[in-house]
Structure 1
Amino acid sequence: MDLIDCKILTHLQENARISVSELSKLLALSRPSTAERLVRLQEKGIIDAFTARISLPAIGREIMLIIQVSALKVSLQEFEEMIQQEEAIIECHRVTGEVSYFLKAAVHDMNTMRMLIDRLIPFGTINTSTVLTSPVPYRILTP
């Protein structure tokens, strides 16, 4: 990867819908060269997917939670299968240390939060924190 590839990644993270023509103008590179670089970045697995970031409050998910799960009472496989079916969970990370999993959830209201926690309690020890603000909600990454 060179500086141009890094610039491509930055522009795509800012706006994944940017056209090859617009991108080539920003890079001062021909459209075919830009398109070729895009394909190469995808083939190498550097570009994993093109997605949209959704505003959680705009879709009614006003409350974001960070949930720590420790002292699992079920197998890892059983817990992970349950979590994959849980619509409120938007991220799940298995980690080292005393805590087994960090979950990020987004819910509509306090009652929905309570019901989610109630569903998680049978699986282990649950510690929930409500997100007040997110000073770094998303960071653009380059190599």
Structure 2
Amino acid sequence: MDHIDRTMLELLQHDGRITISELSKRLALSRPSVSERMARLEERGVIEHYTARVAHAKVGLDILLFIQVSELKIPHLEFEHLIANEEAVLECHRVTGPINYLLKAAVPDMNGMRELIDRLIPYGTFNTSTVLTSPVAYRALLPRED
């Protein structure tokens, strides 16, 4: 991956709706060259997909939570299936150490948080933290320079 690919990744992560024409101008490449590079990055799995980042509070999900899950009472795969079907859970990561999973969830209010915890509590031990602020809510990912 060269400097142009890195710059393209940075531009796409800052504005996923940028046009091929605008990328072409900013990268000083022809539109076919830009399209070819994008296709290569997609084929190699560097670009997984394109999406919009939605502000959780703007869609009525005012409380953002991180939930540490430990001491599972059911098999891991069963828990993962359960969590995959839990709409409030935005992310689920199986992690090392005394914690089995780290979940990121968004709920509308304290009642929503209580309901989520009540649904999950039969399956393990949970430690919930409510997000107060997010000084770094998102950061563009770029390949390491060797």
When normalised by structure 2's length, the TM-score is 0.97
SS in 1 for 2:68: strand
Structure 1 residue 128, shift from structure 2 partner? 0.3
Q: Point out 4+ residue stretches in structure 1 off by more than 6 angstroms.
A: none
1:77 deviation in Å? 1.2
Residue ranges of structure 1 left out of the alignment (5+ in a row): none
Separation in structure 2 between the aligned mates of residue 101 and residue 12 of structure 1, nearest angstrom: 30
Paired position in structure 1 for 2:100: 100
Partner of 2:15: 15
Query: What fraction of aligned residue pairs are identical, expressed as a percent?
Result: 62
Q: What SS class does the counterpart of residue 91 from structure 1 fall into?
A: strand
| Structure 1 counterpart of 2:51, one-letter code | T
Paired residue total: 143
Deviation at residue 78 of structure 1 after TM alignment: 1.1
Matched, 1:25 2:25: yes
1:122 and 2:134 aligned: no
Which residue type is aligned with residue 125 of structure 1?
Answer: T
Where do residues 19-58 of structure 1 align in structure 2 (5 Å cutoff)?
A: 19-58=19-58
Tell me the amino acid that sits aligned with residue 89 of structure 1.
Answer: V
Residue 135 of structure 1 deviates from its aligned partner by 0.7
Instruction: For residue 88 of structure 1, report the CA deviation from its aligned partner.
Output: 0.3
What's the TM-score, normalizing by structure 1?
0.99
1:32 & 1:101 partners in 2: Cα distance?
Answer: 44
The residue aligned with 2:86 is 86
